[in-house]
A and B are shown apart, each in its own frame.
Chain A
Amino acid sequence: MNLNKNTLIEIYRNIVLLRKLDEKLIELFTAGKVPGWIHPYVGQEAVVAGVAPHVRKDDFFCATHRGRAVHVLKGTPLRKFVAELLGRKTGINKGRAGEMHVMNWEVHSVSSGIVGATFPMAVGFGIACKLEGGDKIVFCTFGDGASNRGTFHESLNMASVWKLPIVFICENNLYAQFTPSKLTTSVSDIAKRASAYNMPSTIVDGMDPIAVYEAVGEAVERARKREGPTLVECKTYRYHGHFYGDKWETYRSPEEVEAWKKKDPVITFKERLLKDGVLTEKLVEEIYNDVNSQVEDALKFAFESPEPSPEDVYEDL
């Protein structure tokens, strides 16, 4: 697959940005400055960062409740995005959606706090793409837990029968909320389920953004050519709990977490790009500084923004 230097640097930059953003949010959440909850994406960044170069602005993209990466990489301005997470009037959804429910319809990204609710929505987007003609497609990320919902079965069947242009991307992080998937799920590879829908599928290392990029690239090509949907399973891991602050020590071992951290894309991908001469230490530093100032700028904007007023509550009805 043709991956030029700029795309590789962009993928790396996005991984660093997503990590920085989540770390900052965790810090603020711990200080009681983020309303609601946060579901950290830390550890899984290589998945959406690897998908992002294939995504066009007019494509539809369904995110999960752990879906910040989708909205950011789909092109939501960071200021408006962070303001939304902090419940500000200047947020992309005027401070009404929050972390789990961000939607940016200018770039067709949507999420849901209901696990598995976006499968049928993706079908609806797919129907619209098909009726419209052209080569617009749908990306639908979901977790291993969501593949146990009835909507998974119903919607993947529909997508297959109607040859809808959807790329289903499973972020298999091995845990559904606080329960190991092996206790609740009949298969360890979610990709196996695709065969029941006569749908091609593939499994990749979700800690390796290039592997994700390549596998998703093939699925995207099929979808744009109107050859039907594909399921790409990415084996990945979340370093934190289901939401930040849950007692993950009760359902998984610190050794397991540490073992996955050895594959951390922030480190391994950097080393690989340094070794290949794509990155230099100087460029790495520049990227860090640039990402830092971008996140700080967005936070400053958000904190200086007003919260919704009592009058705002009754708008957009």
Chain B
Amino acid sequence: MGKKTIAYIDAIREALREEMLRDPKVIVIGEDVGLGQGAFTVTKGLYQEFGKDRVIDTPISEESIIGACVGAAMAGLRPVAEIMFNPFMALVMDPLINHASCYKYVSGGQVKVPMVIRTLVCQGRGAGHDHAPFYASWFMHVPYIRVIVPSTPYDAKGLLKTAIRDDYPCIFYEHIDFYPRKPNLGEIPEEEYTIPLGKADIKKEGSDVTIVAILTGVKTSLSAAKKLEEDGINVEVVDPRTLAPLDKQTILDSVKKTGRLVIVETDFKTAGVGAEIAAIVAEEAMEYLDAPIKRVATADIPISFTNEKYILPNEEAIIKAVKDIC
């Protein structure tokens, strides 16, 4: 199989384009996705290629954008919406939570609601309390919403294609740190591929401690692991890639092997992603643990445009957490 190098942002656009070519039912909808090329040029060129009826520029009406996706999906389309910044998801809760996630079941299996919401995690850019936070556990809490957190170009393309074909609502998180091309190149197959939901990827094998990390936490954990290697600590880095469904088995197997667990997440700590993962490990693999579980997360205070450097997890915090239990 041939391989090619691609940037994260281009991998996402390639997934969108391929799925739009493959299935005329796929539409892209959101603020600025057409003429505006998407907030950070992710959807560049799609409007010109597929036209205004399949790449739909909307008014600033988040709730109705997502509500319209619910209707369009029920009617047989496969909408991919863009909600520009992750905290704006607060505006779309009703159609997503009270309708999209439940309709298949409460209709007695009559309808499905296949839709994807791409949303940007814009941490570390001084974007402020209503643009910067990362909220993933909100949606992990709701049955039958898919929560997808790709950290590499390979994962982004393969998972987005799967999400578009999936019959449930999917939230697809993209981190702003992944958008610049040069530091975010990766290899993908020339040929078409998809990645199943609920399948974690071990980004680095190790034997002394398991780090479960998501989004930018993966990269930071890998660099922390390199430094910890110098201190003789051999770290395994597990990237769940999707938080719902969650690949519990890969996490449990890793913890059973290493006996130690650190969770690296950039959402707020309380009732966050790590809380769920820690609970699963405590319930199902307590006897394998040689030390307490540690969580490295964003401090539980509102984000301001100047405080991120003090409250977001960084490499130093990861190294400290690992050393605390090793």
A122 at the interface (CB under 8 A from B): yes
Q: Which of A92, A105, A121, A131 contacts B70 (CB 8 A)?
A: A121
In whole angstroms, how far apart are the Cα atoms of A93 and B63 in the complex? 26
Q: Does A168 contact B (CB under 8 A)?
A: no
B72 to chain A: closest residue by CB: A124
- Contact in complex: A92, B108 (CB < 8 Å): yes
**Residue A31 at the B interface, CB < 8 A?**
no
- Complex CA distance for A119 and B68, rounded to whole angstroms: 8
A308 to B27, CA, bound (A): 37
CA distance A125 to B68 in the complex (A): 7
- Contact, CB under 8 Å: B56 / A127: yes
Decide yes or no whether A87 CB sits under 8 A from chain B.
no
Q: Is the CB of A122 within 8 A of B71?
A: yes
A120 touches B67 (CB 8 A): yes
List the A side residues contacting B109 at CB < 8 Å: 94, 315-316
**A124 in contact with B106 given A119-B67, A150-B63 (CB within 8 Å):** no
Give 1 or 0 for each of B73-86: 1 = CB within 8 Å of chain A CB: 11111010000000
Which residue of chain A lies nearest to B56 when distances are taken between CB atoms in the complex? A127
- The docked-state distance in angstroms from the alpha carbon of A131 to that of B64 is 18
Contact of A119 among B58, B64, B105, B107 (CB under 8 A): B64
Closest to B73 in A: A124
B104 interface contact, C-beta 8 A: yes
What string of 1s and 0s marks CB contacts (under 8 Å) between B126-168 and chain A? 0000000000000000001000000000000000000000000
- State which of A95, A105, A130 has its C-beta within 8 Å of the C-beta of B110: A105
Which chain B residue has the least Cβ–Cβ distance from A97? B106
Closest to B66 in A: A120
Residues of chain A within 8 A (CB-CB) of B54 are: 131
- With A96-B106, A110-B74, A127-B72 known as contacts, the answer to whether A120 contacts B111 (CB < 8 A) is no
CB <8 Å contact, A124 and B59: no
A155-B64, A157-B61 known; A128+B108 contact, CB < 8 A: no
Give the contacting residue for A161; candidates B59, B70, B99, B106; CB below 8 A: B59
Interface residues on B, range: 35 or more
Contacting residues, chain A, for B144 (C-beta < 8 A): 317
In the docked arrangement, what's the CA distance between A104 and B109, Å? 11
- Distance in angstroms from B78 CB to nearest chain A CB is 11
Structural contact, B105 and A96, CB atoms closer than 8 A: yes
**B76: A residues at CB distance < 8 A:** 128
Q: Is A101 an interface residue (CB 8 A)?
A: yes
Residue of A nearest to B168 (CB): A317
A159 to chain B, nearest CB (A): 10
Name the residue among B56, B67, B73, B110 with the largest chain A CB count within 10 angstroms.
B67
Asked if residues B74 and A121 are in contact (CB atoms below 8 Å), the reply is yes
| Known contacts A93-B106, A105-B107: A117-B71 contact under CB 8 Å | no
Given contacts A93-B107, A317-B104, 18 further A-B contacts (CB under 8 A): A60-B75, A92-B108, A96-B105, A114-B94, A117-B95, A120-B68, A121-B67, A121-B71, A124-B73, A125-B72, A127-B68, A128-B77, A131-B27, A151-B63, A155-B67, A316-B104, A316-B105, A316-B109
Residues of chain A having any CB pair with chain B under 8 Å: 60, 91-97, 101, 103-106, 110, 112-114, 117, 119-131, 150-151, 154-155, 157-158, 161-162, 315-317
